[in-house]
Amino acid sequence: MSDATHPWLIVGLGNPGPDYAANRHNVGFMVADLLATRIGGKFKRAQKAQAQVVEGRIGPPGPASRRVVLVKPMSYMNLSGGPVTALRDFYKVPTDHVVAIHDELDVDYGSLRLKLGGGDNGHNGLKSMTKAMGPDYHRVRFGIGRPPGRMQVADFVLKDFSSTERKELAFLVDRSADAVECLLAEGLERAQSTYNS
């Protein structure tokens, strides 16, 4: 099971369409878009699933380079598991070579957490992925913090980042993309010690 045989499936979670593009819930799409730019690719409609994909390599040329398929499911968040599983099966990717990038309520804004496996913490994208293929995939958890006051969670995640948050957003998306690259090149422990905050 070498990397030469199996690519990594890097899944940015979000909702399709311009109305959702700048929502907190779409930060996974933002990181996936940046990774696509870094590898010089453009998202195209997948043949085998309701998703957009980019194929390429992440990392320096040579043995440290990793084959990747970047994925943005186009099914809406709560149905992400279907397209992700279809692509995992099509590309013959082991579940531990799947990485979900997603917003995380229980992590403060500005903080990242990387982990392998675990629960879904009420996140509909993770819930759908876990139901479809089990929990044993990597997660890059982009902290968005909890909603202020009595705001409902659903309203909070479907709102755009605040003007204060947007001042740091590009930097944080960049850092998240760096964390994904580190995870693939150097493994989970190194990525956690470098980027978990």
Positions marked active-site: 25
Please state the three-class secondary structure of the chain as a single string: CCCCCCCEEEEECCCCCCCCCCEHHHHHHHHHHHHHHHCCCCCEECCCCCEEEEEEEECCCCCCCEEEEEEEECCCHHHCHHHHHHHHHHCCCCHHHEEEEEEECCCCCCCEEEEECCCCCCCHHHHHHHHHHCCCCEEEEEECCCCCCCCCHHHHHCCECCHHHHHHHHHHHHHHHHHHHHHHHHCHHHHHHHHCC
Q: Both tokens of residue 123?
A: 């996140």
Q: Both tokens of residue 125?
A: 């994208």
